[in-house]
Structure 1
């Protein structure tokens, strides 16, 4: 497996973006890409810079810091040194015409600095266009995601049970988990496209901590360190016999993430009702995966599943008291990508989309149970990359 995207891989990605923007419906003159993750997707490097694609086909990557590293990492002959946006005038014209930018990412202050030297007829959003392209993975990307899934499965099934010790705090567990992840091969960060998301490793919690209210848009909960840092874990919550341990973590190698959740019971078998609710979530996952097929509509899948939920999941499904409105999400360079298995999401599923599916349920006095696995959409259906769902593991 190639460690870095090849010149051909990057040229294919740029070509797909250019061909999409060149459709008459967009009337595009210039695309400006500022996001470091999107810059990496198209150039193979991640610098303080700006990527410009013009209607005439010219592609330029202006790197402020580090120009030298950009030259080392990007196999394309598109790199120019930049100190200020004014330097770009040496290569591209001052009039940019109908311009597409990442409106979900670019601050108004940055846009104003660019407009100091360049004029734009109209500003359009390019975010969803790029996300749609990124949703369909190449063979190169699938190779990385497949390896990530294998390591992810090994982490949660073989390593985590050995970490859990009676009396350890939630931060003790998370920091040891993070250390073991990096030693195994994890790239060390969890990247989200959602605005203002801070998360270290993922959501982990002992007992009712995993149903504690949280600002994170996911079905689990987390109390965190304090109101100022509502992540990582509660220093005063210690693992004890009978606790459920909820571990929902993204895992990644070379920039690409898989997503998986495993629930454990510490020191004793879980109560019968807990086992039944967890099993009901596994059954829902089985039903969802049977519907994941090329050309199927995500909103149709979501609505069918929600309409046919078993009685055991009639309350607190997909979140305790505050349910999230999706069943799954794309994964890749970000943990939250397209497609989304949610009402209103009409983009048909295509081959080589990679999706994390996560039916879960909050239980009062217990915590969050359920599963999450990462799948790739193929002609034969959904193929699991992370090993498949497990019953609650007793440690």
Structure 2
């Protein structure tokens, strides 16, 4: 399939966004997109610049850096160069008093530079409206997400067991895993919507390191290299028999991701009570997947599962100690973490071809983080896994 985003795809995305804006902000006049991920979504390219969307008029992509590249890779119909916001502002005879922009992305200094020439007196957010537009995937998008899922499954279920060896450091596994991922087709980077978040390869840990506190908004943990790099493996932690190995990673192709976690028992099988807890997490994973049907309410899915768990199981479920997250899964697409979320407060019904990562996990003191995660497409029959069906705790002898 052609990796260049077709014009039909771009037109459909813009139409959907405009419809959402007309419904939720009937008086809107201008929306401006700055973030490179959303520029990629709406235009098929990632220049340094902005996309100006006027109500009732053609949108214009203004490229400050990367203009020539954008001309070659984007089917977007109106692309113009600019040296500064002043250049772009001169093209608009009338500017609205209020502008809609990405408040989750645009820092104050950028807004002030923009406002100097686009003399708006106020702003509103379009983060939610863009998230809604992006949440339902087209067949073109699903092609790349499913391709990522196929390679993702192969790497974690088939190749990683061959890499694991006694005495290797977490950093050794991270380096070798990254090489394998890229050779299998990974784009080399996994992107997150969470502000100021980076993950070099994976959230990757041996034993209790998967319970170690981290600033990442997920159930797993890792020790990392040091205070400056918390998302990589640890050089000092070596793999030994009896270890639980925990790998949570995103896999990307042409901008689109799948998300998957796999666990392994190295050298020796874990105690029966640990395996039983893991299997309970896997059962929860399967029950959530069955509920991923059009019309289902994310909040109801979350509460249905949580209300049927015992107080003992809830302890250290979806985290460890006080570091428990309040969701069971999340959307996946151009970022690993997208709208909507399987959590309280998400009341809009699911729509066919939304994509979710489902990740029930539980921390066990002295052992690590058990559980599993796969990526699912919402269908009338329930969630369809695109990253495999292995329940985890693969034994590596």
TM over 0.5: yes
Partner of 1:42: 42
Cα distance in 2 between the residues matched to 1:25 and 1:311: 43
TM norm structure 2:
0.97
User: Residue 164 in 1 paired to residue 164 in 2?
Assistant: yes
From the superposition, tell whether residues 331 and 24 of structure 1 become closer, same or farther in structure 2 (CA, over 3 Å). Answer: closer
After superposition, what is the alpha-carbon deviation per residue over 1:15-47, rounded to whole angstroms, capped at 9, x for unaligned?
111222123744110000001000000100011
Cα distance in 2 between the residues matched to 1:24 and 1:196: 29
User: Residue 19 in 1 paired to residue 15 in 2?
Assistant: no
Q: Tell me the SS of whatever aligns to 1:313.
A: helix
Partner of 1:67: 67
User: Residue 359 in 1 paired to residue 397 in 2?
Assistant: no
Partner of 2:384: 383
Partner of 2:331: 330
Partner of 1:350: 351
Cα distance in 2 between the residues matched to 1:142 and 1:9: 12
User: Residue 232 in 1 paired to residue 252 in 2?
Assistant: no
From the superposition, tell whether residues 56 and 311 of structure 1 become closer, same or farther in structure 2 (CA, over 3 Å). Answer: closer
Deviation at residue 315 of structure 1 after TM alignment:
1.7
Cα distance in 1 between the residues matched to 2:100 and 2:117: 17
Cα distance in 1 between the residues matched to 2:157 and 2:365: 26
Deviation at residue 302 of structure 1 after TM alignment:
0.4
User: Residue 200 in 1 paired to residue 200 in 2?
Assistant: yes
Deviation at residue 202 of structure 1 after TM alignment:
1.9
Aligned CA-pair RMSD: 1.3
Partner of 1:267: 267
Q: Tell me the SS of whatever aligns to 2:117.
A: coil
Cα distance in 1 between the residues matched to 2:23 and 2:279: 48
Deviation at residue 89 of structure 1 after TM alignment:
2.6
Is the contact made by 1:94 and 1:119 (CA closer than 8 Å) also made in structure 2? no
TM norm structure 1:
0.97
Where do 5+ consecutive residues of structure 1 fail to align?
Answer: none
Deviation at residue 121 of structure 1 after TM alignment:
4.3
Partner of 2:215: 215
Is the contact made by 2:290 and 2:381 (CA closer than 8 Å) also made in structure 1? no
Cα distance in 2 between the residues matched to 1:93 and 1:38: 26
After superposition, what is the alpha-carbon deviation per residue over 1:142-161, rounded to whole angstroms, capped at 9, x for unaligned?
11111111111001111101
Deviation at residue 231 of structure 1 after TM alignment:
1.8
Cα distance in 2 between the residues matched to 1:91 and 1:22: 24
Q: Tell me the SS of whatever aligns to 1:173.
A: helix
After superposition, what is the alpha-carbon deviation per residue over 1:306-332, rounded to whole angstroms, capped at 9, x for unaligned?
110156623210001121000000000
Residue-pair matches, total: 395
From the superposition, tell whether residues 124 and 269 of structure 1 become closer, same or farther in structure 2 (CA, over 3 Å). Answer: same
Partner of 1:291: 291
Deviation at residue 374 of structure 1 after TM alignment:
0.4
Cα distance in 2 between the residues matched to 1:77 and 1:315: 54
